[in-house]
Chain A
Amino acid sequence: AQSVTQPDIHITVSEGASLELRCNYSYGATPYLFWYVQSPGQGLQLLLKYFSGDTLVQGIKGFEAEFKRSQSSFNLRKPSVHWSDAAEYFCAVGPYGGATNKLIFGTGTLLAVQP
């Protein structure tokens, strides 16, 4: 069965430090992978997506993610974190359900940024 695991529920980093958020998936074929960010009380904003090709994808706000098929991972990285990056981050995989374009979401990682 398809699934997404974000092992870290909560991460705290210092401003200016590097960041890596982990995402592991289980999927029967080559998945489409997404990272979304959610500020408190807001909807989800797409950071980046992977479909095929170059396994290192660049997104908005200086984020990048690397698809590693052998490890079934799609970790999100940022070289230098800003206080405004404090938010909850969700990894998602799809599609499942045929043409319904449904996504499976991880449980999220809450990022806190220390000054």
Chain B
Amino acid sequence: DGGITQSPKYLFRKEGQNVTLSCEQNLNHDAMYWYRQDPGQGLRLIYYSQIVNDFQKGDIAEGYSVSREKKESFPLTVTSAQKNPTAFYLCASINAGAQGNQPQHFGDGTRLSIL
């Protein structure tokens, strides 16, 4: 079955350390998104990418970086510049040819905590 795989499910970061969250999809979707979820704040967009080798900042990009070298992969790096990284991170994808009327598909998330 097609879907989005996020790994690891749980991740711990030490102070001053960069960590990378993996997101892989086999849905042949063009566009991919990274969200951060905090209790009571819903989902906030970190970065998104509509095609390979191109990505844009979302609403809360500071302290994060991404790459899109392959269509199926959109890894998110949480850098040491992100001072409050503890959150649940969700990856999503959609066929970029959709006219906005197709839902985004979500992975099962990665929970990042500070040691």
A100 touches B109 (CB 8 A): no
A100 touches B42 (CB 8 A): no
The chain A residue with its CB closest to the CB of B58 is A102
Smallest CB–CB gap between A51 and chain B, Å?
A: 4
Contact with B along A55-90 (1 / 0, CB 8 A): 000000000000000000000000000000000001
The chain A residue with its CB closest to the CB of B44 is A105
When distances are taken between beta carbons in the complex, the residues of chain B under 8 Å from A43 are 4, 6, 90, 106-109
Which of A32, A43, A51 has the largest number of chain B CB atoms within 10 A?
A: A43
A101 touches B31 (CB 8 A): yes
B41 at the interface (CB under 8 A from A): yes
How far, in whole Å, are A15 and B104 apart by their CA atoms in the complex?
A: 30
- Size category of the B interface is 20 to 34
Smallest CB–CB gap between B101 and chain A, Å?
A: 4
A17 at the interface (CB under 8 A from B): no
The chain B residue with its CB closest to the CB of A103 is B104
Given A101-B98, A102-B48, A9 and B40 touching (CB < 8 A)?
A: yes
How far, in whole Å, are A45 and B106 apart by their CA atoms in the complex?
A: 7
Given A41-B111, A43-B109, A108 and B100 touching (CB < 8 A)?
A: no
The chain B residue with its CB closest to the CB of A10 is B40
How far, in whole Å, are A42 and B9 apart by their CA atoms in the complex?
A: 10
B90 touches A106 (CB 8 A): no
